[in-house]
Chains A and B, each alone.
Chain A
């Protein structure tokens, strides 16, 4: 029974990531705020990592990252690597040192989301030699960060429901 619930939970995570990927990529669906749209699959992958074990958390992080790589046109594997490692570390922290609930989920989201967005800025903007890096950070990446952070709430709610009905932590 526990094994079946685990698999059902994982299937739901995969479906959730696919649906959120379609939502975040669909033109005209999510409103622009200060020229930014939220990275829904990042928020979802991070909240999944908060409630799952290290290895499945990493696997879903990699899956979300591959989707992000395809959608964003970055080198295949870059986001998969970042999201995978980030989700692994986040899951390890939440499983051993931090009891996860809404407040700690937001705290964890604050730094993990910041790491992902800062790395995006460094690797996909600064390292490519684009000009006005500080301007880009403040006016393009910071709005993306805050908008994504806002999405931690509904995503955590989804994982909370998932956890309530299908068990885990």
Chain B
């Protein structure tokens, strides 16, 4: 039995010093070589794990069929499978691919100015309380830090870290995510943000509404396009209620995002769009808010 000894303590000290070095070096180097190395090794593992889980889920989803039903179904399918095996070699793969292309096409048709990259969610860390996640596309697919992440249903988050073959996405539920937003019906603008309490319930808040706000429950909230990170008119969510802020005289709306960030599995990364990086692009008229911070300015400052 190797006990605490001066030799083992020396090894511990060396390890601590090396790890401290890595810890200090990593943030200054951005996506460091260590992270890239780990990403390159673990991303295929995560992708394989996700694929196996999806396969297993399909396998066990038998809708409560009886044993006889299953046997009959098995025989029927075996016969059918025998006849059609040759034709079906690539069928499912092609069908899946086709569905994926249809999704891309529908989003691209709706927003022709966007350059989109399709990606799958392959990692969700248990220690992340804001439901950030990892996708299976990285810098090799043209993704860069700050790219917006969406689905055909609406906004999901922002790319936070990029490795060669994978990227880390900060979800819309994160306290660090702030998005310039607008209520379509009334034209009132604000900033979408969240905190741990909202994240736990899967909601976000639209801040900086004035006391005479016309925003009502059911109102549709979209991106405003300010900040140059998100294009305008991307769906965010629907207003649940409007509340008064505890910290100032402004109001905020509680918004349920159209996309359930906790379970989303396929996303699109907006790698380019007209006005990307242009802080003033599509800048809406800010709602008059004498006491609250100017939302457009906040969006420029905080949309990240």
A150 within 8 A of B: no
Residues of the A chain whose Cβ atoms lie less than 8 Å from the Cβ of B26? 75-77
Tell whether A29 pairs with B128 under 8 Å between CB atoms, given A70-B42, A84-B15, A139-B196: no
Determine the distance from Cα of A85 to Cα of B195 in the docked complex, in whole angstroms.
Answer: 32
Q: Is B126 part of the binding interface, using a Cβ–Cβ cutoff of 8 Å?
A: yes
State how many angstroms separate the Cβ of A68 from the closest Cβ of chain B.
7
Distance A54 CA – B132 CA, assembled complex (angstroms): 34
Interface residues of B (CB under 8 A from A): 1-4, 8, 11-12, 15-16, 19-23, 26-27, 32, 34-35, 38-39, 42, 45-46, 48-50, 52-53, 57, 121-129, 132-134, 160-161, 168, 175, 195-197, 200, 262-263, 265
Chain A interface residues (CB < 8 Å from chain B): 18, 21-30, 32, 35-40, 53-55, 58, 62, 66-78, 80-81, 84-85, 88, 92, 95-96, 120, 124-125, 130-132, 135-136, 139-141, 144, 147-148, 169
The answer to whether A22 and B46 touch across the interface, beta carbons within 8 angstroms, is: yes
Question: Would B42 and A28 count as touching, CB distance under 8 A?
Answer: no
Q: Which 6 pairs across A and B sit closest by C-beta, in order of nearness?
A: A37-B126, A77-B23, A77-B22, A22-B49, A53-B2, A72-B125
CA distance A22 to B48 in the complex (A): 9
Contact of B11 among A27, A55, A130 (CB under 8 A): A55
Chain B nearest CB: distance from A52 CB in Å? 9
A85 adjacent to B12 (CB under 8 Å) = yes
Pick the contact of B23: A18, A22, A76, A125 (CB < 8 A): A76
Q: Which residues of A contact B2 (CB under 8 A)?
A: 53-55, 95
User: Do the beta carbons of B195 and A131 come within 8 Å of each other?
Assistant: yes
Which residues from A are CB-within-8-Å of B42?
21, 67, 70-71
Contact B53 A26 (CB under 8 A): yes
The reply to whether A131 and B175 contact each other, CB–CB distance below 8 Å, is yes
